[in-house]
Amino acid sequence: SIKLSGKLAFADDTPPTPVTLYGFQLSGRVTDTQGEPIPNVIVSTKSPALRWSISEVTDADGRYTSVFWPDAHAGFQVTVVDGAKAYDLPKGQTVEFPYLQSAEMDLVVDRADDSIQVARLTAADGAIYEGVLVGISVQGTPVQPTHAAWPDAQGNFSLVVPGTVQGKRVAWWQRHGYYYSRLDAQPGSSVDLDAWPHKLAPDVPQGIELFVIGRQS
């Protein structure tokens, strides 16, 4: 393995904002009363303080993911939106999410009475963090490290990559984003490698510096 390290900074030498907690993840599955998945619907929540969350559209298996902030012990409203149609909990019912934790919630849509029921609700590990990851790529594809650390308060970062990159031409990349991490993300702490990107969007800065690890052939 090969350890790489460096410092991330703006042109005036100030470091970027360190990784910080952004929110919590709500995920689950939406089905009908026959247990069939319902694709292309949205799950929204509203807290007693009127803090809203809106999920991504459910996939073919009815699965959804959203960012939310469960900052109340009870009283959340939940809605499934299917086009112009909205399905709510029965009148007077609300949901109590685990306080300031990620959660998994499965919902059943009953189209006969235009309502939904919570089939499963459990706490989940992890949270969503906002921060900057720094890595290397080979021919535009990110190299999966065996260990990486978030930049610390001064912008110092490090990562360990497989020895298979030795002798290859690689490029630095940096990516600001929102990452679901099962590890408590703090400046300088270990990165949950499940959050490491497998591909880079066109707007991700790449080729900041090209270099060769090991001998050139």
What DSSP assignment string belongs to 166-205?
TTSEEEEEEEEEEEEESS---TTSBP-GGGS-SS--TTS-
% pLDDT > 90, the chain: 81
pLDDT of residue 216: 42
Biggest CA–CA distance in the chain, Å, is 71
Buried b (16+ CB within 10 A) or exposed e, 17-29: ebbebbbbbbbbb
- The rounded distance, in Å, linking the Cα atoms of 30 and 82 is 11
Residue 48 phi/psi, 5° resolution?
Answer: -60, -25
As a whole number, the mean pLDDT across the chain is: 92
For residue 40, the SS3 value is: coil
Q: How many residues does the chain have?
A: 217
Domains in the chain (CATH in brackets) are 2-20+128-212 (no CATH), 23-124 (2.60.40.1120)
Mean pLDDT computed over 98-112: 97
Contact at 8 Å (CB) between 95 and 112? no
Nearest to 110 by CA among 31, 168, 199: 31
pLDDT tens-digit series, residues 1-39: 899 999 999 889 999 999 999 999 999 999 999 999 999
Query: Helix H segments across the chain?
Result: none
pLDDT of residue 132: 96
Q: Tell me how crowded residue 1 is: count the other CB atoms within 10 A of its CB.
A: 12
Contact at 8 Å (CB) between 193 and 145? yes
User: Is the pLDDT reported for residue 217 higher than 50?
Assistant: no
Q: Structure tokens of 143?
A: 């190299």
- The rounded distance, in Å, linking the Cα atoms of 20 and 130 is 5
Residue 177, beta-bridge partner list: 131
User: Is the pLDDT reported for residue 161 higher than 80?
Assistant: yes
- Whole-angstrom CA distances from 172 to 5, 207, 208 are 11, 6, 6
